[in-house]
Amino acid sequence: MEAASSNRKRSDVRRANVTGCQRCKSRKQRCDQNIPACSACVRAGTTCISVDIDGQSAPRSYIRNLEDRVAELELALRSQGVDTESVAGSRTSQDALAITPEAIRSNELNLLGLLVPKPNDIQDSGGSGYHALLDTTALQLAATYFEHSNFFSPVLDQESFNKVIATLHQHHLTPGEGSSIQKFQLCMVLAIAIRLLNRIDSAVPTTASESFFASAVGILTERPQATWQGDLQHLQNLLLIAQYTIFASNLSTAWHMVGLSTRLAIDLDLLNENAPSV
């Protein structure tokens, strides 16, 4: 009974927000506004295209996919004990402006925890992570990152990053040595570089990328206070995660990370050209 009520509610929302499709409007006929396609388009065997209030057109199947994704994320939140109704209501509350840095860090870590593959999903994890960071292949991967990803959306300074790699390499630091931020950013750069190579050649496996990303998130989990400090490096870390999720085709998480980055950039007054150095 409850499920039927929920379906009826979603159906009402769709009917209220979905206008007639392009084909029905051009033929000046009534559109039943069904999703993912109206009855007229189904009978004609054509793609049902909707136009929003901004004049942007998109297949109604895309709208259906978005709704399904929202439902999936709501289910994931409920499984974590989060009341989605109260969360939605609190967005308009003034209390939402009083979010503490600790709550933001906790939210970021919980979201990253959902992204990390389970240990048994990562093959040969013993050969990845810190133990394989400083070989020749790792240095080539870092060069790939700066040549492609960082060139179009610069996050890190290449000269400074190369100095970090050189320091770690020359001193042969063990996995337990080196700063948390240095190790995190190195893992993220390698993870993104492998994803880049996979985009160019699908034969390149992404298992090592997932392992490096899991190692990076492990660093954040172990020492969140050292990496989430609300400074410029905090912003760099968020943007690195956003880059990774884009190449991993997890666009909803990428959107969320870009939002967190934007909020932090505003807090740091980076929009002000005359702002002092952070």
Tens-place pLDDT, residues 69-99: 888 888 877 777 776 665 555 444 444 444 4
Q: Please tell me the predicted confidence (pLDDT) of residue 243.
A: 92
Is residue 155 a part of any domain in this protein? yes
The total domain count for the chain is 2
- The helix, strand and coil proportions of the chain, stated in percent and rounded to the nearest 5, come to 70, 0, 30
Instruction: Judge if pTM exceeds 0.75.
Output: no
**Residue 124 CA to its chain's centroid (Å):** 25
| Residue 200 pLDDT level (bands cut at 50, 70, 90) | confident
- Look up residue 23 and give its DSSP letter: H
Is residue 74 a part of any domain in this protein? no
Contact 16, 23 (CB under 8 A): no
pLDDT digits (tens, 9 = 90+) for 101-138: 555 455 555 555 544 444 333 334 333 344 445 567 77
> How many CB atoms are closer than 10 A to CB 101?
13
pLDDT digits (tens, 9 = 90+) for 245-256: 998 888 888 888
- What CATH number has the domain bearing residue 17? 4.10.240.10
Pair (163, 251) in one structural domain: yes
- Look up residue 173 and give its DSSP letter: -
Is residue 28 a part of any domain in this protein? yes
Q: How far apart are CA 104 and CA 157, in angstroms?
A: 26
Pair (50, 139) in one structural domain: no
Distances 212 to 49, 80, 201 between C-alpha atoms, Å: 41, 25, 19
Domain range for 11: 2-68
Pair (128, 29) in one structural domain: no
Helix (H, G, I), strand (E, B) or coil at 273: coil
Q: Please tell me the predicted confidence (pLDDT) of residue 83.
A: 67
pLDDT digits (tens, 9 = 90+) for 1-58: 444 444 444 444 444 455 778 888 888 888 887 878 888 899 988 888 887 666 677 7
Q: Please tell me the predicted confidence (pLDDT) of residue 272.
A: 74
Strand bridging mode 49-51 / 57-59: antiparallel
Nearest to 41 by CA among 223, 19, 33, 237: 33
For residue 46, give every residue at least 6 positions away whose Cβ sits within 8 Å of its Cβ, in sequence order, or none.
23
For residue 98, give every residue at least 6 positions away whose Cβ sits within 8 Å of its Cβ, in sequence order, or none.
none
Nearest to 25 by CA among 12, 43, 41: 41
Phi, psi (degrees; rounded to nearest 5) at 31: -105, 130
**Distance in angstroms between the alpha carbons of the first and the last residue of the chain:** 56
Instruction: Please compute the mean of the pLDDT values over residues 145-161 and round it to a whole number.
Output: 84
The chain-wide mean pLDDT, for the chain, equals: 72
> How many CB atoms are closer than 10 A to CB 40?
19
Pair (161, 256) in one structural domain: yes
Pair (19, 127) in one structural domain: no
Is residue 170 a part of any domain in this protein? yes
Is residue 229 a part of any domain in this protein? yes
